[in-house]
Structure 1
Amino acid sequence: MSMPQAERREDTASVFARVAMEVPPPPAPEVVLGVVGLGRDAVGALRALGPMAVRSCTMDDTDVAALIVAPAADLGAFEALTARRSRGDGIPVIATSVRSALDANVADAISRAALRAGAFHLLALPDRPELDALAACARAYAMKAPQLRDTWVRDRLAPWIRASLRPLGITPRRAEVIAHHALGATRKPIAAAMGISLKQVDELIALIHRATGQTRLIDVAAPFARALGPVLHGSPVLAS
């Protein structure tokens, strides 16, 4: 004999209440440091320090969470970064400045351009403390830059939520909706981030309600939002 609908809802609600009290710590974004204009030896030295993945990139690469930029006599690299910052995409930057290889006036101009572009440090070659600071800023940037945040949700937060709600059979797409809502997104931004229609979002939300025994998405997302609190608000970059 099948369980009455009200009794089934109460049962799933009690399961949700139990698993909601046992949410593990959330995964931080996986960040990549992009390097622009550095030689192979310098890139190898950065990789050896190891606070995050390192790869060569272009100035407008949207898949990296921080940049280390080599000096450029024409200042074009830093002008591109200034333009990017003016569009609201102030990616964390460390600028390298090898004064012995440059005319003093050129080096000073590059330093000023780098600072206008948002560079928070100028140094000959990054060392571990500076890279640790850059990594912290990169993680904060990855939580708010749209493309990187959506990757974090899809690849790390949704699996975390799905594993937490495993007894309720939450699918990857439903977990992604919950993750976006836990980060504060409402229906329309969720649809845009996931590349689906509002109707599809509503259908996923209805299935989430049925699976968890909850009548509001905010109640489903709340335990995950609480777990994310220290990750989201522990960075001065996000607080600014």
Structure 2
Amino acid sequence: MKTIYYKANERGHANHGWLDSYHSFSFSGFYDPEKVHFGALRVLNDDTVAGGKGFGMHPHDNMEIVSIPLSGELEHADSMGNKGTISKGEVQLMSAGTGIYHSERNKNHNETVKFLQIWVFPKLRNIEPRYDQQAFSIADRLNQFQTVVSPIGAKQGGVGINQDAWFSLSNMQAGKELSYKTQLEGNGIYVFVLEGKVTVNNHGLERRDALGVSETNEILIQAGTDAEILLIEVPMLF
């Protein structure tokens, strides 16, 4: 078993005034040769956007882009004709494929919006761009894993991704334990702590810490406090 510890206070950080962003992996002006990607997981940005502000139309191609709101409301528009708003409890995914343009904006002017934007290398390149969005019951992730992203065509639920990858969310009560087994042999598991304190295979993690685990099929997560976690399973051959 291999583990890589990603400390919250060692993430890249850029504060542009309207955007306060923390980068778990090398991104924009932040580069760390030890933190370029974890398998197919390329980007995990922890973004706070000021009221009424946002990202104008900009391009992407051949990347799977997942947005997970943590608070507030995020407006979206893209060159495929999709327009809408997502908030906590919802997950959005775009397969950029041959190329798309999209924008993201804080819908409200009197409060910030906080969200995770996550990029995953695709399984197939140059596919037709696609969009998926789904709402999930937060109550259904109490002390269990709730699948919010799974491969296109899979029957585990969640929005469909063009990769052999699975995203799960869980809200754990203090003292509870959960074990997670990989869906696919050889995949790695990236555990990101949104809130609280947990132990993963005897590694203690706090808010916004992460642990990448590979060369094992199962991990054990123990909640030291009430905790909210995001678990990302991805292929490692990247």
What is the TM-score normalised by the length of structure 1?
0.23
Higher RCO by CA contacts (8 Å cutoff, separation 6 or greater): 1
Per residue, is there more helix in 1 or in 2? 1
What is the TM-score normalised by the length of structure 2?
0.23
Please identify the structure whose Cα radius of gyration is greater: 1
Per residue, is there more strand in 1 or in 2? 2
